[in-house]
Amino acid sequence: MPLQRENRNRYYRINWLGHAEAVLSSAGPRSNFIMMPTRNGSIRLFRFSGIDVFLHWSWFVVAVYEFNTRRHNYSFALWNALEYLALFGIVLMHEFGHSLACRSVGGKADQIVLWPLGGVAYVNPPPRPGATLWSIAAGPLVNVILLPILTILCFVGKHFGWPDNLPDTYTFLRTIWAINLVLLIFNMIPVYPLDGGQILRSLLWFWLGRAKSLLVASSLGFVGVLGFFLWALSRQDVWLIIISVFIFLNCWRGFQHARALSRLAALPRRAGFICPSCQAAPPIGEFWLCGQCQKPFDTFLNRAVCPNCSAQYEQTSCPDCRASHPISQWETVPPNA
């Protein structure tokens, strides 16, 4: 599942107050990622092409649980461990699909966190429907590519009599094939924020615009997740109930974000400045938070200096795309010209 990450509040950088509702309503600026695992409580596994891969502690708890409940499937327990590692590998490839695609369109993606509900690729694609669509679709595309490869491997195994000669190997192969297919189908359910729901949102973006497309996709998501929750309840499957609650909470977050985007889109814009990354003019208002005195101010009115405590900022972040640039790069007319 790809996720759009807000800039961290840093002393040298003025951040737009995370999401617009932090100022426009009473929601706190840190209420954003409570529902997602973070690198806090995670161990860093490795770094590949500039992307750090973290493993959340809860992954080990579920690994032990899975290991104990699925023991009967193989004649050696080692195969269970291999199976869980293979699941881990497929999820990781899926998340790398999101991250690398996001980078290929000029977005920011430098972190993947793996946890029991799958993986989270922290991606921040440029705020354009095509770029967002590609960043989302590239994840499931990895599973689509894996499908014929695993299918051929299963056929080859059957041809060489593995079900009799190497039953564990064959069971393993078939399970991996099924895991990949289940992951693909699950991710393509058009319920926001699953990949299918985000693909739907990106497609709607072409016609409805950034805010309204998210509003529609997350509203549809509520209907979908209610159905999913009732189905999980009828099956009395605790794991599915947890997943549906998790989807609901993130759908709610998407809905709130859509409302914030609508408010952001309606704000008057300041002339004389445009974002070097997305070309949007900044909104007029006290939407930037000072890292020193924690008071909001309008950084474009005060040229990146806090009017309350005089802290000066090297970087100013864009409310529309969240990229940061020195204030001088925002100016459309150079000073003294």
Interface residue with Zn ion among 300, 318, 327, 330 (CB under 5 A) is 318
Q: Is 278 in the site for Zn ion (CB under 5 A)?
A: yes
Residue 195 CB, shortest distance to Zn ion, in Å, is: 4
Q: Is 109 in the site for Zn ion (CB under 5 A)?
A: no
**Residues in 142-201 at the binding interface with Zn ion, rule: CB under 5 A:** 195
Instruction: Report strand pairing: 315-317 vs 13-16.
Output: parallel
Q: How many residues bind Zn ion (CB under 5 A)?
A: 15
- Side chain identity at 95, as an amino acid letter? E
Residue 160 CB, shortest distance to Zn ion, in Å, is: 34
Closest CB to Zn ion among residues 25, 292: 292
Q: Is 293 in the site for Zn ion (CB under 5 A)?
A: yes
286 annotated active-site? no
Catalytic residue among 66, 95, 286, 331: 95
- In the sheet that 118-124 helps form, which strands lie side by side, from edge to edge? 2-3, 118-124, 108-115, 51-56, 42-48
Interface residue with Zn ion among 18, 107, 125, 139 (CB under 5 A) is 139
Could you list the beta-strand ranges (E) of 19-102.
Answer: 42-48, 51-56
**Residues in 240-269 at the binding interface with Zn ion, rule: CB under 5 A:** none
Cα(226)–Cα(231) distance, integer angstroms = 9
Question: Is residue 9 helix, strand or coil?
Answer: coil
Q: Is 309 in the site for Zn ion (CB under 5 A)?
A: yes
Q: Is 312 in the site for Zn ion (CB under 5 A)?
A: no
Interface residue with Zn ion among 273, 320, 327, 330 (CB under 5 A) is 320
- In the sheet that 296-297 helps form, which strands lie side by side, from edge to edge? 296-297, 288-289, 13-16, 315-317, 324-325
Q: Is the peptide bond before 193 cis (omega within 30 degrees of 0)?
A: yes
